[in-house]
A and B are shown apart, each in its own frame.
Chain A
Amino acid sequence: MARRCAAGVVLGLAAASAGAVELTMWVMPVTTNAQHDIPDLLAPWLAQHPDVHVRVTVLDWESGWNKITAAAASRRGPDLLELGTTWMPAIAAMGGLEPLTPAQLAQVDNGAPYYPELWKTTQVFGRNGVYGLPWYADVRAAFYRTDVFRQAGVDPAQAFSSWDAFHAALRKINGQSVAGKRVAALAYAGKNDWNVVHNLAPWIWNAGGDMLSADARRSALSTPQALRAIDFYSSLAVEGLVPSNALEKDSDILEGAWVGGDYGVIFSGPWLMRRIFESPPGSVVRSNFDVAPYPAGPHGHATFFGGSNLAIFKGSRHKAEAWELVKYLGGKAPQVQLALVSSMMPARIDAANDPAWTSRHPAYAKLTAIAADGRAYPPIPAWGPLETVYTKHLGQLAELTAGIGDKYGAPAMKALIADTVTEADKVLEEAN
Chain B
Amino acid sequence: MSDLGLTISTASGERPRRRRKVDAFPYLLLAPAALMMIIVNLVPIVQGFRMSLLKLNQYTLSQFMDAPFIGLRNYRGVLFDPTNPVHSGMLGALRNTALYSLLVTVCAVAIGLGVALLLNRDFPGKALARTLLMLPWVVPTYVVGTLWGFMWQRDEGIINHVLVDVLHLMDHKPFWLIGSNTFFAIVIPTVWRAWPVLMLIFLAALQAVPEELYEAARLDGANAWQRFRNITLPSLMPVIVIQVMFQIIDNIYSYNIVAMMFGKGAGYPGEWGDLLMPLLTRQSFSYWRFGEGAAVSFVMMAVMLVFVALWMRTFRRSMTSEA
Does A388 lie within 8 Å of B61, measured CB to CB?
no
Contacting pair B265 A193 (CB below 8 A): yes
Which residues of the partner chain A approach B64 to less than 8 Å between Cβ atoms?
73
Interface range on chain B (Cβ under 8 Å from partner): 20 to 34
> B265 contacts A191, CB within 8 Å?
yes
Alpha-carbon distance A196/B268, docked complex (angstroms): 12
Known: A193-B264, A392-B282. A426 touches B270 (CB 8 A): no
B232 contacts A by Cβ under 8 Å: no
Residue A190 interfacial (CB < 8 Å): yes
Give the shortest distance, in Å, between A46 (CB) and chain B (any CB). 33
With contact pairs A395-B266, A399-B179 given, residues A426 and B84 touching in the complex (Cβ less than 8 Å) = yes
Given contacts A194-B264, A248-B154, A399-B271, contact A69 B286 (CB under 8 A): no
| Chain B residues positioned under 8 Å from A419 (CB to CB) | 88
Asked if B57 is an interface residue, CB under 8 A from chain A, the answer is yes
Interface core residue of B83, B269, B271, B287 (most chain A CB under 10 Å): B287
Inside 8 A of A396's CB, which chain B residues have their CB? 268, 270-271
**Across the interface, do B175 and A93 meet the contact criterion of CB distance under 8 Å?**
no
Nearest-Cβ distance from residue B157 to partner chain A, whole angstroms? 9
Measured between C-beta atoms, what is the minimum distance from B65 to chain A in Å? 11
A404 touches B175 (CB 8 A): yes
Query: Is B113 among interface residues, defined by CB-CB distance under 8 A?
Result: no
Q: Which of A90, A244, A392 has the most CB of B within 10 A?
A: A392
Cβ contact within 8 Å between B265 and A395: yes
What is the distance, in angstroms, from B184's C-beta to the closest C-beta of chain A? Answer: 14
Contacts of A426 on B, CB cut-off 8 Å?
83-85
With known contacts A193-B265, A404-B178, A423–B270 Cβ distance under 8 A: no
Contacts of B288 in A (CB 8 A): 384-385
B109 at the binding interface (Cβ < 8 Å): no
Mask of A192-205 contacts with B, CB within 8 angstroms, 1/0: 11101000000000
- B177 nearest in chain A by CB position: A248
Which label, helix, strand, loop or mixed, suits the secondary structure of the B interface?
Answer: loop
CA distance A431 to B263 in the complex (A): 26
Q: A384-B288, A385-B288, A388-B286 are in contact. Are A402 and B179 (CB under 8 A)?
A: yes
* Interface status of B207 (Cβ within 8 A of chain A): no
A219 to chain B, nearest CB (A): 12
Task: Assess whether A192 is in contact with B61, with CB atoms less than 8 Å apart.
Answer: no
- Chain B residues contacting A94 (CB-CB under 8 Å) are 58-59, 61-62
B61 contacts A391, C-beta separation under 8 Å: no
Q: Does A38 contact B (CB under 8 A)?
A: no
Known contacts being A95-B62, A399-B179, is A194 close to B265, with CB within 8 Å?
yes
What is the 8 Å Cβ interface bit string for chain A, positions 51-94, against chain B (1 contact, 0 not)? 00000000000000000010011010000000000000010011
Across-interface contacts of B154 in A (CB, < 8 A): 244-245, 248
Q: Are A191 and B85 in touch, CB under 8 angstroms?
A: no
Closest A residue to B55 by beta carbon equals A430
Task: Kindly identify, within residues 189 to 236 of chain A, every residue whose CB is under 8 Å from any CB belonging to chain B.
Answer: 190-194, 196
User: Considering the chains assembled together, what is the distance between the CA atoms of A225 and B286 in angstroms?
Assistant: 28
Instruction: Tell me if A392 and B268 are in contact (CB < 8 A).
Output: yes
Q: Is A247 an interface residue (CB 8 A)?
A: yes
Instruction: Give per-residue flags for A409-432: 1 if the beta carbon is below 8 A from chain B beta carbons, else 0.
Output: 000000000010011001100110
Q: Is the beta-carbon distance between B262 and A192 smaller than 8 angstroms?
A: yes
Contact of A385 among B58, B155, B270 (CB under 8 A): B58
The interface size bin for chain A is 35 or more
CB distance from B236 to the nearest CB of A (A): 41
Chain A residues within 8 Å of B156, by CB:
245
B295 CB to closest chain A CB (Å) equals 15
Contacting residue for B83 out of A193, A402, A422, CB 8 A: A422
Q: Does A382 contact B (CB under 8 A)?
A: yes
**B157-178 with Cβ < 8 A to chain A:** 175, 177-178
Q: Given A245-B154, A399-B178, are A191 and B270 neighbors across the interface (CB < 8 Å)?
A: yes
Residue of B nearest to A251 (CB): B264
Q: Mark B81-111, 1 if CB is under 8 A from A, else 0.
A: 0011100100000000000000000000000
A432 to chain B, nearest CB (A): 10
Instruction: Indicate if the CB atoms of A196 and B179 lie closer than 8 Å.
Output: no
Q: How close is A62's CB to chain B, nearest CB, in angstroms? A: 9
Query: Is A250 an interface residue when CB atoms closer than 8 A count as contact?
Result: yes
Tell yes or no: A381 within 8 A of B by CB: yes
Interface residues of B in 213-250 (CB under 8 A from A): none
Give the shortest distance, in Å, between A431 (CB) and chain B (any CB): 7
Interface bits B17-36 vs A (CB < 8 Å: 1, else 0): 00000000000000000000
Q: With A and B bound together, what is the CA distance between A69 and B64 in angstroms?
A: 12
B297 within 8 A of A: no
> How far is B62's CA from A193's CA once the two chains are assembled, in angstroms?
30
Q: Is A391 within 8 A of B265, CB to CB? A: yes
Which B residues are in CB contact (< 8 Å) with A25?
Answer: none
Asked if residues A389 and B85 are in contact (CB atoms below 8 Å), the reply is yes
Please tell me if the beta carbons of A192 and B84 are within 8 angstroms of each other in the complex.
no
Determine the chain B residues whose CB is within 8 A of the CB of A249 once the complex forms: 153
Bound together, the chains give a CA A272 to CA B269 distance in angstroms of 27
Q: Which of B271-290 contact A (CB under 8 A)?
A: 271, 282, 286-289
| A248 and B58 form a contact (CB under 8 A) | no
Bound Cα distance A431, B60 (Å): 11
Q: Which of A69, A93, A190, A191 interacts with B59 by CB under 8 Å?
A: A93
Q: Name the A residues within 8 Å of B58 (CB-CB).
A: 90, 93-94, 381-382, 384-385, 431
Q: Are B178 and A402 in contact (CB under 8 A)?
A: yes
Whether A398 is near chain B, meaning CB under 8 Å from some CB there, is yes
Q: How far is the CA of A385 from the CA of B57 in the complex (A)?
A: 11
CB <8 Å contact, B262 and A248: no
A sample of 18 more A-B contacts (CB under 8 A), given A73-B62, A248-B175, A423-B85, is A73-B64, A191-B178, A191-B265, A192-B261, A193-B265, A194-B265, A245-B155, A384-B58, A388-B266, A388-B286, A391-B265, A392-B268, A396-B270, A398-B178, A399-B178, A399-B271, A422-B83, A431-B58
**8 nearest A-B residue pairs (beta carbon):** A392-B266, A391-B266, A404-B179, A388-B286, A392-B268, A385-B287, A248-B177, A245-B155
By a beta-carbon cutoff of 8 Å, the part of chain A in contact with chain B is: 69, 72-73, 75, 90, 93-96, 190-194, 196, 244-245, 247-250, 381-382, 384-385, 388-389, 391-392, 395-396, 398-399, 402, 404-405, 419, 422-423, 426-427, 430-431
14 A–B pairs (Cβ distance < 8 Å), ordered by A: A73-B62, A94-B59, A190-B178, A191-B262, A192-B261, A244-B154, A245-B155, A248-B154, A391-B268, A396-B268, A423-B88, A426-B83, A427-B287, A430-B57
